[in-house]
Amino acid sequence: MQKRVNLYITFILLRILINVTCENSPSVIIVGAGPSGIAAATKLYENGITNFTILEAENRIGGRIYSTKFEDEIVELGAELCHGMKDNIVYKLANVYNILQPIEESKMNFCYSSQENVDETFFYELFDLFNDVYDYGFNNVNDTISVGEYLTNRCNEAITINYKNDKQKLKQATEFLDFYITFLTLYSSPFSLFDLSLPLYYQKCEGSYIIIWKHGGYKMILDILMKRYPDPKKQLPIEEKILLNKEVNKIAWKKTSNNSKNIFIETSDGFVFAADYLIFTPSLGVLKNTHRNLFVPHLPENKVNAINKLGFGAVSKIFIHFPERWWPTTDSVNFQFVWSQEDKELMMREFPFGPSKSERTWLLNVLSLESMHEKSNIVTAWCGGEFVPEIEKLTDHLVIDGLMYILNKFLGDKYNITRPYAILRNNWYENPHFRGTYSYESVESRKEGTSQESVLAEPLKTSDGQDVVLFAGEATNPIHYSTVHGAIETGFREAQRIIDTRQ
């Protein structure tokens, strides 16, 4: 193995000698210009380490922060909310400029597919009941049981105890539990709650969990990090060090240090870079799909084990622009779709288009519809669960047809629903530069008994103990994984490792 590594590094060195663009290779390479990569770069620069380059595979910066225009409005294809206030670096950095706004969660309007009368307060009662069961497990159950198994057992017990003498409520409560279990996939991104573990290591930041950006979108945090906001004249020269469309396809690193470059990186367009240090920030999804062919030599087995066992899934947001507001104009709306068992069976005949499995169809993964704000003609359809990868592959036309079927099924008797002008979405799972949205503690990672995020964060060292390959990104944060503030913390953390070696 070592002979193979040495031969590869020799090959890379020869490539560098004939590649004039690499004559002044930086001392630090940062792979990924998402929040962790940008955070690392700004910390390095502000501490006097300016000889770095950021390689970004996409044609934009931001990673899983993706604020963009849709019909003259800013929409968030990626991260959307700042979660919590205390010990939240995003809140700390942005709140001083008065550009964050905590809001109350919009009232859920539970809609039932059946034409039978249902008391909406009953669904609110069930939602509170199931939330109490989940919160109890979150705070008190120290076990490797999956969230799906835990909720199925405990919620069915609660349903039986409370509604066993009312057949209609018993039926509707069981149907609502199916909705609730899929609904929770939106918050942790697994394709199944039976893969998601009750969290052991995650720590919530105190304060409001629904904090929006008053203007500019989540990309404002990148501007703040790079000092482009609030005064562009004080902007750090970070962007000029970013190379876009630079997909990394090979990383070679030396286990022995001899005062020369330790890292050799090859990009898919044939360029080669050499550096003393590497900060690797791409997603856990990328690592799951590429680590075997990406790193020379292969990553150590404990890190491979962490990569394989930690969870990484995806959710989908579909922004829908209607020609006019057919929903109530007085306030924001938040429609939640609860299917009756009869209508689940009926939809396979009424709308037999798109993916299905075991008598379940992708339409069941379209869980809710929310308006952007009171005056907007744009609403967001939220999708979570097992069909998200297949939903990403559907044509826009079929997605719109499916959404119209759902809206007419649930709301057609109340509103004159018009067909949308356009939809906008981002295929996070299908994109090889992401392969999903964010990480979670899986049942398998929980069984290891130690934080696998911490294992993933461990640097690769030379034989004399020098940290040379450093890992950042939300999945390497043992207490704030799956969040932007967690990603930024890890960028600062890995930059500090390099700073400490220079002092």
Q: Note the pLDDT tens digit of each residue in 275-289.
A: 999 999 999 999 999
Closest alpha carbon to 483 in 81, 69, 149: 81
Average pLDDT for residues 160-168, to the nearest whole number? 93
Say if 38 falls within a structural domain. Answer: yes
DSSP state of 475: G
Contact 492, 40 (CB under 8 A): yes
Q: Is 501 helix (H, G, I), strand (E, B) or coil?
A: helix
Which residues have C-beta within 8 Å of that of residue 67, sequence separation ≥ 6? 74, 75, 76, 77, 78, 216, 217, 218, 219, 220
Average pLDDT for residues 9-31, to the nearest whole number? 56
Which residues have C-beta within 8 Å of that of residue 488, sequence separation ≥ 6? 35, 36, 39, 89, 90, 221, 225
- pLDDT for 20: 36
- pLDDT for 17: 40
- pLDDT for 350: 95
Q: Is 283 helix (H, G, I), strand (E, B) or coil?
A: coil
Closest alpha carbon to 37 in 204, 282, 263: 282
> Distance between CA 285 and CA 415 in Å, rounded?
41
- pLDDT for 52: 96
Asked if residue 459 has a cis previous peptide bond (ω within 30° of 0), the answer is: no
> Distance between CA 496 and CA 86 in Å, rounded?
22
Q: Answer whether residue 19 shows pLDDT above 50.
A: no
pLDDT tens for each residue of 249-264 = 999 998 887 667 899 9
Amino acid sitting at position 337 = F
> Distance between CA 341 and CA 345 in Å, rounded?
7
pLDDT tens for each residue of 53-105 = 999 999 999 999 999 999 989 999 999 999 999 999 999 999 999 999 998 87
Asked if residue 389 has a cis previous peptide bond (ω within 30° of 0), the answer is: no
CATH of the domain at 304: 3.50.50.60
Average pLDDT for residues 122-137, to the nearest whole number? 93
Closest alpha carbon to 185 in 364, 36, 422: 364
- pLDDT for 371: 85
- pLDDT for 2: 55
Closest alpha carbon to 330 in 106, 103, 71, 81: 106
- pLDDT for 23: 37
Average pLDDT for residues 470-483, to the nearest whole number? 98
Query: DSSP secondary structure string, 311-333?
Result: EEE--EEEEEE-SS--S-SSS--
Which residues have C-beta within 8 Å of that of residue 23, sequence separation ≥ 6? none
> Distance between CA 10 and CA 2 in Å, rounded?
12
Residue 455 tokens read as 């294992």
- pLDDT for 375: 79
- pLDDT for 330: 65
Say if 346 falls within a structural domain. Answer: no
Apex CA 210: angle with CA 150 and CA 475, to 5°? 60
What confidence tier does 15 reach under pLDDT thresholds 50, 70, 90?
low
- pLDDT for 4: 54
- pLDDT for 481: 97
Contact 83, 474 (CB under 8 A): no
Distances from the Cα of 57 to the Cαs of 12, 142, 423, in angstroms?
A: 20, 40, 25
Closest alpha carbon to 219 in 372, 76, 379: 76
> Distance between CA 57 and CA 80 in Å, rounded?
22
Average pLDDT for residues 460-464, to the nearest whole number? 92
Average pLDDT for residues 302-318, to the nearest whole number? 98
Count of structural domains within the chain = 1
Q: Is 395 helix (H, G, I), strand (E, B) or coil?
A: coil
Say if 341 falls within a structural domain. Answer: no
Average pLDDT for residues 132-143, to the nearest whole number? 85
Mean pLDDT of the chain: 91
Say if 476 falls within a structural domain. Answer: yes
pTM more than 0.85: yes
CB neighbour class for 425 (10 Å; exposed up to 12, middle 13-18, buried from 19): buried
Residue 479 tokens read as 């207490």
Say if 392 falls within a structural domain. Answer: no
Domain that holds residue 229: 2-15+27-64+215-310+445-502
Higher pLDDT, 94 or 372: 94
Query: DSSP secondary structure string, 43-85?
Result: HHHHTT---EEEE-SSSSS-TT--EEEETTEEEESS---B--S
What confidence tier does 6 reach under pLDDT thresholds 50, 70, 90?
low
Say if 316 falls within a structural domain. Answer: no
Q: How are beta strands 52-55 and 28-31 bridged, if at all?
A: parallel
- pLDDT for 150: 94
Closest alpha carbon to 368 in 327, 326, 335, 399: 335
Q: Three-state SS string across 216-271, please?
A: CCCCHHHHHHCCCCCCHHHCCCCHHHEECCCCEEEEEECCCCCCCCCEEEEECCCC
pLDDT tens for each residue of 181-222 = 999 999 899 999 999 998 888 999 999 999 999 999 999 999
- pLDDT for 272: 96
Q: Which residues pair with 197 in a beta bridge?
A: 146
Residue 453 tokens read as 């995020």
Higher pLDDT, 143 or 16: 143
What confidence tier does 18 reach under pLDDT thresholds 50, 70, 90?
very low
Contact 439, 310 (CB under 8 A): yes
Say if 59 falls within a structural domain. Answer: yes
The position carrying tokens 């119209």 is: 404
Residue 393 tokens read as 């592959």
What confidence tier does 501 reach under pLDDT thresholds 50, 70, 90?
confident
Higher pLDDT, 325 or 318: 318
Q: What share of the chain in percent tops pLDDT 70?
A: 93
Say if 109 falls within a structural domain. Answer: no
